[in-house]
């Protein structure tokens, strides 16, 4: 069982404790809460005003939120860019020429964008949530069926999300064409941004959009690292087995990581992580990052499928080490 597998993975690195995950569906509010030890870990939300389901918000074991609040729950001095970057999500920038990544409620020319529609809660069992959705174009014509399994686990200071995403073609041909906008991502709170001393647009103290571009690096502490030993902005556009992001929020030392799997198409994925708070790993962008690399293309005939496996790791009370990351990766791919 996947749930048991991921618990065993964590136990092999850290002291084991029995899972304390409770998953509660609230269909009226169009959300599913994931509780660990009685405290909210994250919620799978699928409201009508979002163009895709997302995990939002995400908390550490201490109850500190790591995801950006804007645009759903804006906080003072956050950036108000990229309205489509909410919580943690999975989608892609070019599926049969349709952009599923950049869609949001304020977009014009909506016909070039796609949406992911939650369709069904398949199963809630222990620490496992299985959901179905469809990738549809502007005319609500379904292109893909998505079957996603979330396995939630953790131990002590650690919280883990294993996401297994199966995409099934519903049209005669569905083509994923090399694009930098993808694939699994998290939009981080401003404390995890990298200081850069460059002007940008921020909300003001009353969470109003401020048209004036300002330099505002106060409280930004983020540092990216990858499995190849690269750091900060150098990780962008590089293939890697895993990427971690470490920073401090309210005096709490926190690390977040996304781990790729050797079974995934396009492994090792290219990093699409940016200093402004986007933390993304892209298995289907290759030439978009390296012009000398062959162009990626994945094509599915009707009824064919492809599956991606990723691990999201949240650690608190101390930054994750390279040794811990390497061990998590090795256990994950087993």
Please give the Cα distance from 290 to 60 (Å, whole number): 34
CA 152 to chain centre: 14
211 pLDDT tier (thresholds 50, 70, 90)? confident
pLDDT digit string, tens, across residues 74-98: 999 999 999 999 999 999 999 999 9
Kindly state the DSSP code that residue 101 receives in the 8-state scheme.
S
Please give the Cα distance from 64 to 88 (Å, whole number): 16
CB atoms within 10 A of CB 333: 16
The three-class DSSP label of residue 10 is: helix
Mean pLDDT, the chain, integer: 94
pLDDT at 253 over 60: yes
Please give the Cα distance from 159 to 124 (Å, whole number): 19
pLDDT at 293 over 50: yes
Q: Which residues contact 278 (CB under 8 A, 6 or more apart)?
A: 82, 85, 185, 187, 188, 272
pLDDT at 17 over 60: no
For the ranges 2-11, 46-55, 60-69, which has the lowest average pLDDT? Answer: 2-11
- Model's pTM, two decimal places? 0.93
Q: Are 275 and 222 in contact (CB under 8 A)?
A: yes
């Amino acid at each position: 069982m996947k749930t048991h597998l991921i618990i065993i993975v964590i136990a092999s690195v850290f002291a084991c404790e029995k899972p304390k995950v409770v998953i509660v569906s609230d269909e009226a509010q169009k959300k599913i809460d994931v509780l660990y030890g009685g405290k909210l870990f994250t919620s799978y939300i699928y409201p009508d005003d979002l163009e895709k389901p997302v995990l939002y918000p995400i908390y550490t074991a201490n109850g500190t939120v790591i995801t950006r609040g804007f645009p759903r729950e804006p906080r003072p001095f956050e950036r108000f860019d990229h309205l489509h970057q909410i919580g943690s999500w999975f989608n892609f920038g070019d599926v049969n020429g349709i952009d599923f990544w950049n869609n949001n409620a304020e977009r014009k020319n909506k016909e070039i964008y796609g949406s992911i529609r939650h369709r069904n809660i398949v199963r809630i069992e222990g620490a496992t949530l299985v959901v179905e959705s469809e990738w549809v174009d502007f005319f609500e014509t379904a292109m893909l069926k998505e079957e996603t399994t979330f396995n939630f686990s953790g131990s002590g200071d650690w919280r883990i999300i294993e996401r297994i995403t199966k995409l099934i073609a519903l049209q005669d041909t569905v083509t994923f064409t090399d694009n930098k906008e993808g694939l699994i991502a998290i939009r981080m709170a401003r404390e995890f941004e990298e200081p850069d001393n460059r002007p940008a647009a921020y909300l003001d103290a009353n969470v109003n959009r401020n048209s004036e571009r300002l330099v505002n690096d106060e409280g930004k502490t983020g540092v990216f690292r990858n499995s190849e030993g690269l750091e900060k902005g150098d990780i962008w556009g590089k293939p890697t087995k895993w990427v971690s992001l470490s920073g401090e929020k309210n005096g709490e030392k926190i690390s977040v990581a996304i781990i790729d799997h050797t079974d995934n198409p396009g492994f090792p994925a290219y990093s699409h992580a940016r200093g402004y708070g986007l933390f993304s790993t892209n298995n289907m962008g290759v030439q978009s990052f390296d012009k000398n690399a062959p162009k990626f293309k994945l094509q599915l005939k009707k009824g064919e499928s492809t599956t991606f496996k990723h691990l999201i790791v949240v650690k608190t009370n101390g930054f994750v080490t390279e040794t811990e990351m390497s061990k998590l990766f090795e256990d994950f791919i087993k």
